[in-house]
Amino acid sequence: MDNGGWQYGIRLRSILRKSGADAFFKRIKNEYGMGMKRLWLAVCFVGCLAEGRAQMLALKTDALWDVAMVPNLGVELVMGDRATIGLSALGTHKPWGKDIKLYGLQPEFRYWFSGHPMFREFIGLGLVGANYDIKWGSEHYEGDAVGGGLTFGYAFYLSPHWNLECYGSFGAVWYDQKHYYDKDNYQENRRTGSGYALIPFKIGVSFSYILK
């Protein structure tokens, strides 16, 4: 593993600190026991992978999720003249004081029609996996969801290191959950509902910082 890869890992760490994501990860460590050392090693690994591929690497966050008080962070790696792969993670606990817990991962492959990755029109094939525990009025929803679908979007050039992406995804999501009411005094550890839903599972406006 060469020094260039570690340098990109260090640069990515620096961006995390400036963006506030590093503070978010420390909060996760304090509240949920996740080790910052493992997260740092993962960041270094991504940087080394980008250097080994000799391609661009971008760090991004979805502004719509941020406004909804759902911290999120993603990385995207260029694999060729028209292809990128990415992975985004999100998580929240009681946003705006609401009794909601949500954690998810979203891997995605994108094809860029312009021949310049991370610029102009793209179509993507994405997956989503989430765990949720939501209280909505007197109703409770607790379970897991997995699915996939197509993403369509456009990336606007802002500067050599920054761009703005607008996109939407539509697909099928399978869920397996408990659904009960406050008055049910529900205690059993079993699922009460499962099925499929056709939904727009990702709609966003993201800012991307291109490291290389």
127-169 confidence digits (pLDDT tens): 999 999 888 887 888 889 999 999 999 999 999 899 999 999 9
Residue 105 host element (H or E): strand 100-112
Residue-wise pLDDT tens digits, 84-93: 999 988 888 8
194's tokens: 């499962």
Q: Kindly tell me the burial class for residue 74, based on how many C-beta atoms sit within 10 Å of its own C-beta (0-12, 13-18, 19 or more).
A: buried
Q: What does the alpha-carbon distance between residue 83 and residue 112 come to, in Å, rounded to a whole number?
A: 6
What is residue 91's predicted lDDT score, i.e. its pLDDT? Answer: 87
Whether 31 shows a pLDDT value over 50: the answer reads: no
What is residue 43's predicted lDDT score, i.e. its pLDDT? Answer: 46
Question: According to DSSP H, which parts of the chain are helical?
Answer: 3-19, 21-32, 36-53, 63-67
Whether 55 shows a pLDDT value over 90: the answer reads: no
Give, in degrees to the nearest 5, the angle at Cα 180 between 175 and 185: 140
